[in-house]
Amino acid sequence: MDYKARQQRLRKRLDDLNLDALFITHLPNIRYLCGFTGSAGVLVLTRSRAVFFTDGRYTDQARTEVTVAKTVVGKQNAFMEATK
């Protein structure tokens, strides 16, 4: 899958809509944009980077599946980590 191209198309829409970032929580959209197949995660996409947040249950899985975003594994659930 070409996750980078998918993210670039979404970044173009961010520019078109004059948005700085998008906070993605719907798991099918996360899978579409970065490849993560687990059941807990949040993807934050800005005009210049992508950061994927998940919790410690998914450390190995996230580091294997998510290669087009920085991965942050927290001690709390992914939503709490992304909103710190």
Full DSSP string of 14-76: HHHTT-SEEEE--HHHHHHHH---SS--EEEEESS-EEEEEEGGGHHHHHHH--SSEEEEESS
Its pTM stands at 0.86
Quick: pLDDT tens for 14-58: 999 999 999 999 999 999 999 999 999 999 999 999 999 999 999
Q: Which domains, ranges and CATH numbers included, belong to the chain?
A: 3-82 (3.40.350.10)
* Closest listed residue to residue 44, CA positions, set 61, 67, 27, 69: 69
